[in-house]
Amino acid sequence: MEFRLENVKYKQILDIENLKIPGDKVVCIIGKSGSGKTTLMKLLNGMISPDSGEVYADGDALSKMDLVQLRREVTMLQQTPSIFDGTIRENLNIGRKYAGADPATDEEMKRSLEVVRLNKSLDDDADDLSGGEKQRLAFARVLLLSPKALLLDEPTSALDEDTAHDIMHDVLAKFRENGQSVIMVTHAQAIVDAFGEYVVKLEAGKVVQAGGVNR
């Protein structure tokens, strides 16, 4: 899914004259804290609306789209993901419930846990997981969905560098295998260097860099 922003302003946080975010690359959004990265992500799935200007997804204006349907097609994994009371199985299926999809099978859920290297039983209590394990559980949950685009906000913040690299390698491979767009905010330069194919850099709410990465 390709996004385009035209003359978008949001409070005193973002002022983007023109930005195209390709749908066929792993896109990394970088910049200092307070530069507007998470705000930009929230604009892409309609969590917030611009004060002026327009955001487009595959050529369609978000302001004219049904927001419930939009969020089924554009899923955002927040930096501190929501973990619900109950088992790992219940947490994995709650995303599909909200998306109006049938529950995943145990085999599908186990495969998603393998991708994120979370060696836990489906019947384990999700509240007993560490912060890094909860982040991996949230990854596994979005793997069971089929959105057109995945927005990842600091997806490796609770993981050490080696674990982050290994999990992002496997998770991104799965997302790309399914033909899903991936856009992520990250402070981890190692993640940008390893996986970023297109980089958008923000400074004080403005785009100062947007382009492909040469390797």
pLDDT digits (tens, 9 = 90+) for 133-158: 998 999 899 889 878 999 999 988 88
How confident is residue 101, by pLDDT bands cut at 50, 70 and 90? confident
pLDDT of residue 158: 81
Mean confidence (pLDDT) of the chain: 92
Judge whether residue 209 has pLDDT over 70.
Answer: yes
Domains of the chain in start order, with CATH, are: 3-212 (3.40.50.300)
The C-alpha angle 22, 3, 199, rounded to 5 degrees, equals 45
Tens of pLDDT, residues 23-64? 989 999 999 999 999 999 999 999 999 999 999 999 999 999
Tell me phi and psi for residue 173, to 5 degrees.
Answer: -60, -40
**Rounded mean pLDDT, 171-189:** 89
User: Percent of the chain beyond pLDDT 70?
Assistant: 100
Judge whether residue 205 has pLDDT over 90.
Answer: yes
Tens of pLDDT, residues 3-24? 999 999 999 999 999 999 999 8
d(CA 92, CA 137): 7
pLDDT of residue 30: 97
Judge whether residue 160 has pLDDT over 90.
Answer: no
User: Percent of the chain beyond pLDDT 90?
Assistant: 73
How confident is residue 180, by pLDDT bands cut at 50, 70 and 90? confident
pLDDT of residue 215: 61
pLDDT of residue 195: 94
Tens of pLDDT, residues 74-88? 999 988 888 999 999
**Rounded mean pLDDT, 167-175:** 88
